[in-house]
Structure 1
Amino acid sequence: MTHRTEADRSRRRTLHDAAAGLLTSPEPPPTNPPVLGTLLRDTARDLVGEFRGVTNDRWTLRPLGGGPSWTVSPEHTETADIGARLRARTQADETVRRAHRR
């Protein structure tokens, strides 16, 4: 059994509506990218990353503790609230601690 999040269900509904011609004009993505280093939450993946730049029409985010960056559509981002920032920082700190124990 596949576990689908609300974001997955919403994305599937949007794709279905677009294919059926029910969407007349999609909401335009944000026009101004955030300042480099801004912490954003990728709502499609429920991950927090640091804004690193723009690649084509997508934004590049990097995990706080380092690691591979990923790209996301601007409409799937929001500024990370304090809870999301604290969770991401704690996870990054734990990753660093585990790496130093080896």
Structure 2
Amino acid sequence: MSDCLFCKIAAGEIPAQKLYEDDDVIAFWDISPAAPKHFLIVPKKHRINLSDLSEEDDRLIGKMMRVSAQVAEENGIEKGYRTIINNGADAGQVIFHLHMHVLGGRPMGWPPG
């Protein structure tokens, strides 16, 4: 999608502080962190959100979860972290390209506000 911010980051058209990249996903630090350590996992394949997925995307979601654990460990988030996928505007999704927030570096309360 030509006007999608995350598609442009995945294509290397917009710079990001990359933490991980392969053929399927990219991980980079969030530019407006909500925790001391806050990064995003973004699939390179454009999907709007979880509701836009099909069975062929099952492996992709699993990979996003695995990469979140790997990148968290590599970046010293040892005591725990939270993964969040906002699905739609009412859930707080602002960029309509599927992405997972990974937040850590401080205790998290429940429920999240």
Q: Normalising TM by the smaller chain, what interval?
A: under 0.3
Larger Rg: 1
Tell me the TM-score normalised to structure 2 length.
Answer: 0.24
Tell me the TM-score normalised to structure 1 length.
Answer: 0.26
More helix by share: 1
